[in-house]
C-alpha cells in the first residue's frame, strides 16, 4: 500500500478535504492520511510515497525531516531543497530574466544588525547608502517588504521619503526590498498545480483579508487572461514549484508579477470560496496520486525542478527560457508576451 501523507498546521478545511478526496477515489494501492512523525533516525524512510507539505516553512524540524524523506525516496510537494534556497528578491530577478514583467525592485541592507553581527562584520557595506539614487530608481509610491516573507507581514506602503524612513525604522533586523507600486485596476491571484494547471482568481488586496477573493468578477480581456496564465506557468516551471500562487497587478494592460513565492498558498474554504476550494482540492488530489504512481527520482534535487540553474551558468535569458520549455514539453510554446 502506497501512502500519501498531508503535513499541516493550523488550517482546518483543506487538509481533511484533500485526504477525503484522495481516499474517495478508492484506488486499490493508494491511501491518504495525516502525517505522523516523532524522532527521526538519519537516512530512515518516511513510510510515505508522497507528502504534501503545508507547514515546514514554520517548523525547522519538519523541514529537516522532509529533506531526509526526499533522500530516502519520498516525493514532497513542494521540494524542500529548493524551498530552503528560495527568496523573493531572487524570484524577482529570475522573472525579469524570463521576460515576465515585474516592478522595479531594490534589495536593502538590514536596518539593525542581525544577532551576533557588529560594525566590524559589515565593513563591506556602503555607508551611507545612496538614498537619492535608490528613490530615483524606484519612485513613489512604493512598497517596503521583506525579501523573504509572506502573509503580508511587515509590508509597508510608502508615499515619500519621510514615510519610507519611518517604516524602515520598524523593520528590525529583517532584510527588506523596496519595490515600485503598481497602480492597478485589475488584480489576479492564480493557483498553479503540477506546473500545468492554472486557476485565475480575481483578488483585491486592498480589502479586508476575508473579502479579498472576488466571487462575481467582471469580464476580463481574454488576451490578458491568456498572458496571466502563461506567465504563471513560466514562473512555476522555472522555480520548480508543484503548488504555488502567483499574483499579478495589472497596469495599462500589463500584468506585473507581484508575489510568486507561495508554496503553501491559502486554500481555506472560507476565504477562497467553494468553487476555488473544490478546484484546488481536486487538482492537488490528482497530482498527489499521479506522483504516488510514478517512481521517485534518485536525485535529491531533480533536474526537472532546477530550471533556474541555467541562469547561474550565464546562459542568455532567451535560450534559458526555451530550454525550460523543452525540458517540460519537448518544444517551446509560443510566448504570450
pLDDT digits (tens, 9 = 90+) for 2-31: 999 999 999 999 999 999 999 999 999 999
Mean pLDDT of the chain: 88
- More confident site: 216 or 24: 24
Percent of the chain whose pLDDT exceeds 90? 73
Q: Are 129 and 111 in contact (CB under 8 A)?
A: no
User: Between the CA of residue 242 and those of 75, 179, 233, what are the distances in Å?
Assistant: 11, 27, 10
Q: Are 22 and 50 in contact (CB under 8 A)?
A: no
Task: Check whether 201 has a pLDDT greater than 90.
Answer: yes
Q: Which helix (H) or strand (E) holds 237?
A: helix 222-239
pLDDT of residue 216: 81
pLDDT digits (tens, 9 = 90+) for 285-303: 999 999 999 977 644 444 4
Task: Check whether 333 has a pLDDT greater than 80.
Answer: no
Phi/psi at 184 (nearest 5 deg)? -90, 150
pLDDT digits (tens, 9 = 90+) for 244-278: 999 999 999 999 999 999 999 999 999 999 999 99
pLDDT of residue 297: 60
pLDDT digits (tens, 9 = 90+) for 81-115: 988 888 999 999 999 999 999 999 999 999 998 88
pTM of the model: 0.85
Domains and CATH numbers, the chain: 2-84 (3.40.50.20), 104-180 (3.30.1490.20), 186-262+307-329 (3.30.470.20)
- Cell triple for 37: 512523525
Percent of the chain whose pLDDT exceeds 70? 87
**Range of weakest confidence among 22-36, 128-142, 207-221, 273-287:** 207-221
End-to-end alpha carbon distance in the chain: 45
pLDDT band per the 50, 70, 90 thresholds, residue 319:
very low
Strand 50-53 and strand 2-7: pairing? parallel
Residue 33 DSSP SS3:
strand
pLDDT band per the 50, 70, 90 thresholds, residue 336:
very low
**Range of weakest confidence among 46-60, 128-142, 206-220:** 206-220
Average the pLDDT over 58-81 and give the result.
95
Average the pLDDT over 46-68 and give the result.
96
Amino acid at each position: 500500500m502506497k501512502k500519501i501523507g498531508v503535513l499541516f498546521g493550523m488550517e482546518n478545511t483543506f487538509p481533511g478535504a484533500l485526504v477525503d478526496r484522495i481516499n474517495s477515489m478508492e484506488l486499490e494501492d493508494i491511501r491518504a492520511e495525516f502525517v505522523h512523525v516523532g524522532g527521526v533516525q538519519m537516512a530512515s524512510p518516511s513510510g510515505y510515497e508522497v507528502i504534501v507539505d503545508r507547514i515546514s516553512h514554520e517548523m525547522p524540524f519538519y523541514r529537516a525531516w522532509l529533506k531526509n524523506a526526499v533522500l530516502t525516496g519520498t516525493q514532497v510537494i513542494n521540494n524542500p531543497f529548493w524551498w530552503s534556497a528560495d527568496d523573493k528578491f531572487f524570484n524577482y530577478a529570475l522573472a525579469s530574466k524570463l521576460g515576465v514583467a515585474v516592478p522595479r525592485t531594490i534589495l536593502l541592507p538590514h536596518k539593525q544588525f542581525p544577532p551576533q553581527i557588529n560594525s566590524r562584520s559589515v565593513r563591506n557595506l556602503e555607508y551611507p547608502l545612496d538614498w537619492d539614487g535608490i528613490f530615483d530608481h524606484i519612485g513613489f509610491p512604493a512598497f517596503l517588504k521583506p525579501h523573504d516573507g509572506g502573509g503580508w507581514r511587515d509590508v509597508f506602503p510608502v508615499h515619500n521619503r519621510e514615510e519610507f524612513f519611518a517604516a524602515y525604522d520598524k523593520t528590525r533586523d529583517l532584510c527588506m526590498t523596496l519595490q515600485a507600486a503598481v497602480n492597478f485596476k485589475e488584480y489576479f491571484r492564480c493557483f498553479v498545480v503540477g506546473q500545468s494547471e492554472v486557476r485565475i482568481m480575481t483578488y483585491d488586496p486592498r480589502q479586508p483579508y476575508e473579502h479579498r477573493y472576488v466571487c462575481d468578477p467582471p469580464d476580463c480581456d481574454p488576451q490578458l487572461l491568456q498572458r496571466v496564465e502563461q506567465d504563471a506557468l513560466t514562473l512555476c516551471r522555472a522555480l520548480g514549484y508543484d503548488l504555488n500562487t502567483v499574483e499579478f497587478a495589472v497596469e495599462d494592460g500589463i500584468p506585473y508579477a507581484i508575489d510568486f513565492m507561495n508554496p503553501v498558498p491559502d486554500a481555506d474554504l472560507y476565504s477562497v470560496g467553494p468553487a476555488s476550494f473544490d478546484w484546488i482540492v481536486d487538482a492537488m488530489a490528482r497530482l498527489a496520486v499521479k506522483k504516488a504512481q510514478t517512481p521517485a527520482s534518485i536525485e535529491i534535487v531533480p533536474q526537472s525542478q532546477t530550471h533556474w540553474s541555467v541562469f547561474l551558468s550565464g546562459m542568455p535569458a532567451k535560450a534559458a527560457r526555451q530550454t525550460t520549455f523543452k525540458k517540460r514539453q519537448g518544444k517551446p510554446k509560443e510566448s504570450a508576451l
